[in-house]
Chain A
Amino acid sequence: MKPRLSLLLAVAIISASALAYEVLLMRLFSIIQWHHFAYMMISLALLGYGVSGVFLALNRDRLAQLFPSTIMANMLLFSLSAPACFLLAQQISFNPAEILWTPVQLLNLCSIYLILAVPFFFAANVVGLSLYHYKNHVSSIYAADLSGAGIGSIGIILLLSIVFPEKILALLMLSGIFATLLVSSYTFRDSKHWTTLSVIIALTVIFTPPGWMTLTVSPYKSLNQLLQVPGTKVIDRYSSPLGLIDIVKSEITPLRHAPGLSLNATTEPPEQLAVFTDADNMTAITRYNGNPETLGYLDQTTSALPYHLKQLAEVLILGAGTGSDILQANYHAIKHIDAVELNPQVINLVQRKYADFSGYLYSSAHVDVHVDEARGYLAATDKAYDLINISLLDAFGASAAGLYSMAENYLYTEQAIQEYLRHVRPDGYLSITRWIKIPPRDEPKLLATVINALKDANVRQPGQQIIMIRGWQTSTLIVKNGALSAEEISRIKQFCNERSFDPVYYPGISESEVNRFNIQQPPYLYQAAIALLGDQSQAFIDAYKFNIEPSNDDRPYLFHFFKWRTLPEILSLLGTGGSFLLESGYLLLIAALVQAILASLLLIALPLWLWKSKLGIEPGSGSHLRMLAYFFSLGLAFLFIEIAFIQKFILILHHPLYAITVVLSTFLLSAGIGSYFSANLSYRTEKPVFILPMAAIALLSIGYSLGFEAITEFLLKTGSLSRYLFSIVLIAPLGFCMGMPFPMALAKISQTSPELIPWAWGINGCASVISAILATLIAMQFGFTVLIFLAVGLYGMAAWCFPNSIRV
């Protein structure tokens, strides 16, 4: 029996909604909790797919007899559970900071991802049941699933751009009901009661007064902390896929946001409005009346140093945000400023909504604002600057607690530093300001990265071009495009003396100068700078208890400091307040992987052991193990390649959000087409036909991987539209081939032992969950290129398991 178009459409809608729900949950939990926990919860919730596989495998015949009812029930249950489970999960009081002290928090975390797994379970049932019911047309069902997911990945980004994230839950609910209506009206004609039920639920959702869905943000996030202060209130709220922005006004107590202010400062900031992204990461819009004298406090921070080294004319601010670096440049009467900011809503706030408050800062004649990603902007311009400035782009809290460890960051890689320096005029400066951490982590890592970048650019004595200073809260690293002069060194000393800052390094520094005002015991940063600039830098990096290996584009993890060797020592210090030393982001990823592996073992191995015959495996047959290996390898390899290519293409497409959307949707849509096309190959019996797509995947992946630098170089020279088009053209053939191996094997099984289809679906689900987490860990440790080669190896293994063997 061939599936009707209405059913395929309904499967696509459910898959689109499930993918949209996954992305939406990431956004919602990043707002109410923190990003790294959001990642962990959602990765594990996807195990709902694995559970579905086992559930279907054990109950397949009973469910197949009632196919129309079960599929519609699952569609409706997905619709209802998507918002309900989120509401329930956010009611669970979970505070990650207390995990070390209160074991019950772990239980709360587990409850959250078990609850969130429910909607994915129902969505997976819809696809799994359809695959089993239409066993002779698996390629069409799988094509609908993949294409739906591809459309979902674009749809959710569009929705997040126009609707507040909590409102999207209702829309997803309606889309699930619409899928049910589609099936009840067009696929199964005699199911009027399902139509009636769907209509009633849909009308209830539409006419329920808004407000039933409110977000319960953790009281420990900085937005809620500020809102405890009398007279504070949220005066504006904006949403985009890049984050939820809240603007807070404090009517009684002034805000006074001035991080890194010198201990000698006597002035305080003018009136400010606080701007929060995802209820955290506070920055401020400062009232500016055009009088630079009111900005004196900005000259009392370490980031002001370059303005004191010589007269600067052209300045580039990367990550301009709400404009404090521009105000700092204004204080120093800079003639022209280019300001680059990724988030257009932040620009809009300063440029339009609070233009009067901010003194029309972004509309000034000498300021040009660019909505772009830092490296993307630089790749497309040939302008050169006296100063390129990058200051405090991440909030102290998250940066200090090691939460960003798994977040890729292309701003601080060797290649990025080289790119910045190419745009610095001779004798100009690159200045990077960061939070002080004790003991230091990102500062020595950044220093090692800068030194490597200079060495790669054939600078013989990097130490002649580097300056670093520190206050009690921030440090500033300056790289000059040329050797530093005696005059500049004397100005550094004067600047530091006047503000009670300490020099960390400049050419010719002596140890007696480095620890006078902000005493570190020992002077960690000075020791690191001297060691990293010396002959034994690699030995220093190896011996350091945190990972301070230079970051590069293949391993762009500036914030990954974890070293296994140090773990026992840190664990022994947990009771004495040493929990902040724990690089929790990385450990959580490991914990998520362990849990995903254990859950997968439970879901795959346990049923295999207990209910072998119930699964449909004949006694004495051993080839099901090869089938297991086949589908497991495919599940791992698909996401390895997908994740590696998303990361590689971020560099070409610049904007992480657009890159993820374009690459993911191209992969999924072309894989959907590939799956549909695979039906033509599945009828053939010769072995090479089955291996063909996998051979093509291997060839294309290795080819792209080896030629990636050339591809990047070529694409970066082309225009924006052509970069996107070329990327799609490059990815689509790979995705097309990647969509084939799964349905081809399912088609083969459907001829020999169709009862194993749900089991295969479950194996694939479990492998995908493990794959997403494992891919990140492998990339952090070995880089994206290794990840791609591993994926090719896994496809090779799948090819080896495929031929003739799937007869159980």
Chain B
Amino acid sequence: MKRVKHLIFWLVVIGVILLLFSTHVIAEDDFHRQRYAMVNIIKGEVTATREFLNQESLDKRVSDALENVPRHEFVPDNERPYAYINRPLSIGFGQTISQPYIVAIMTDLLKLKKTDRVLEVGTGSGYQAAILAELADSVYTIEIIEPLAIRAAANLKRAGYNTVHTRTGDGYYGWEEAAPFDGIVVTAVASHIPPPLIKQLKPGGRMVIPVGAQFMTQYLVLVTKDVDEKITARQILPVSFVPLTGKH
């Protein structure tokens, strides 16, 4: 009788462990499915906005990166159910994680190569840094709000992005020791583009800045430095909207 009880006990324990494990697997599988669906939505949106983005479709490498990075690992627990909805989410401290579509086009605009070195000013949740890490050789990211910086570093580590260099502090002067950069993303909105960041951009490099308030990107600015170090800025509307059609 004692043996039977023992057996039942162990069966229950194994059953519970299997159940817990399978929930985890099911959840992971579910997140993967949602991520895949989200990437398809983003691809469609990029195609619809091709005229404004000056390209036919989202770079395959960027869409692969979006498919690989587990966004749910970068959002607070209470926001996890919405991690793969194409919308911005609050990450605390009055900050947000951008809409995945905006992350996608910002990343695409950088035209990164596998050998590139990228700087991000404003780590936030760490999600953008993880996407960049999928595409570039090395990623440097700076966050001024200390608790956010600590949390982002932990998020990146947990998601397996151990090579991303993180730092807590002021991003105005960039990352002098690692400069120059092939690409720079300034996600922390500043009153102006810091001159030191333009200086740390390699000739031929690209810098992307979203302009607008939390939860609402108004437009993107793509700053490029050509081989002669001439600077130009392109103001990009992230949606397919022309204020006027027809001739006058």
Contact = CB atoms under 8 A, between A and B. Distances in A.
Interface of A: 95, 97-98, 101, 219-220, 224-225, 228-230, 252-254, 256-261, 263-268, 397, 400-401, 436-440, 472-473, 500, 516-522, 524, 527, 531, 534, 536, 539-540, 543-546, 569-570, 573, 575-581
Contacts of B85: 101
A544 B244 CA distance: 5
Given A101-B88, A519-B232, A573 B170 contact: no
Nearest to A574: B239
B193 interface: yes
A540 B223 CA distance: 31
Nearest to A522: B242
Contacts of A521: 52, 54, 234, 236
A519 B195 contact: no
B93 A228 contact: yes
A229 B234 CA distance: 30
Contacts of B216: 97, 401, 579-580
Interface string B190-219: 111111001000000000000111111111
Interface in B92-129: 93-95, 99, 101-102
Contact of A577 (B99, B234, B243): B99
Contacts of A259: 191-192
Interface string B212-248: 1111111101010000000111111111111111101
A397 B99 CA distance: 18
A518 B233 contact: yes
B144 interface: yes
Given A97-B216, A220-B214, A400-B218, A545 B233 contact: no
B212 to A, nearest CB: 6
A263 B211 CA distance: 15
10 contacts: A219-B93, A229-B144, A229-B145, A259-B192, A261-B195, A516-B232, A522-B242, A545-B244, A576-B45, A577-B99
B21 interface: no
Interface string B31-69: 000000000000001001100101000000000000000
Interface in B20-36: none
A521 B144 CA distance: 34
Nearest to A534: B248
B87 interface: yes
B45 A519 contact: no
A396 to B, nearest CB: 8
A220 B193 CA distance: 22
A397 B213 contact: yes
B176 interface: no
Secondary structure dominating the interface of A: loop
Contacts of A579: 216
A102 to B, nearest CB: 8
Given A519-B235, A544-B244, A573-B240, A473 B170 contact: no
B235 A264 contact: no
B212 A580 contact: yes
Given A224-B94, A253-B170, A260-B192, A581 B248 contact: no
A440 B248 contact: no
Nearest to B234: A519
Contact of B213 (A220, A252, A569, A577): A220
B223 to A, nearest CB: 7
B138 interface: no
A543 B244 contact: yes
Interface residues of B, number: 56
A258 to B, nearest CB: 5
A576 B191 contact: no
Given A220-B94, A543-B246, A576-B48, A472 B239 contact: no
Contacts of B45: 575-576
Given A569-B241, A577-B238, A265 B195 contact: yes
Secondary structure dominating the interface of B: loop
Contact of B94 (A228, A267, A546): A228
A579 B194 CA distance: 28
B86 A400 contact: no
Nearest to A473: B192
A257 B212 contact: no
A517 B94 contact: no
A436 B90 CA distance: 27
Contacts of B237: 438-439
Nearest to A437: B218
B175 to A, nearest CB: 16
Contact of B241 (A98, A439, A534): A439
A400 B236 CA distance: 15
A437 B218 CA distance: 8
A573 B239 CA distance: 7
A258 B192 contact: yes
Contact of A97 (B54, B93, B215, B235): B215
B232 to A, nearest CB: 6
A259 B211 CA distance: 12
B119 to A, nearest CB: 17
Given A438-B218, A576-B45, A520 B94 contact: no
Which 9 A/B pairs are nearest by Cβ-Cβ distance? A219-B94, A261-B192, A97-B215, A439-B243, A578-B239, A438-B219, A472-B233, A519-B234, A101-B87
Contacts of B241: 439, 545, 569-570, 573, 578, 581
A30 to B, nearest CB: 17
B70 to A, nearest CB: 21
Nearest to B211: A473
B52 A524 contact: no
A581 B239 contact: yes
B233 A527 contact: no
A436 B248 contact: no
Contacts of A260: 192
Given A257-B191, A438-B237, A546 B217 contact: no
B232 A524 contact: no
B136 to A, nearest CB: 24
A668 B172 CA distance: 55
Given A98-B215, A263-B193, A522-B242, 15 more contacts: A228-B145, A253-B144, A258-B192, A259-B192, A400-B213, A401-B213, A440-B243, A518-B234, A519-B234, A519-B235, A521-B236, A531-B248, A540-B244, A543-B244, A576-B239
A570 B191 CA distance: 28
Nearest to B232: A517
Contacts of B242: 439, 522, 545
Contacts of B191: 256-259, 261
B229 to A, nearest CB: 11
B215 A220 contact: yes
Contacts of B101: 576-577
Nearest to A301: B192
Contacts of B219: 438
A463 to B, nearest CB: 16
A264 B231 contact: yes
Contact of A520 (B102, B172, B195, B235): B235
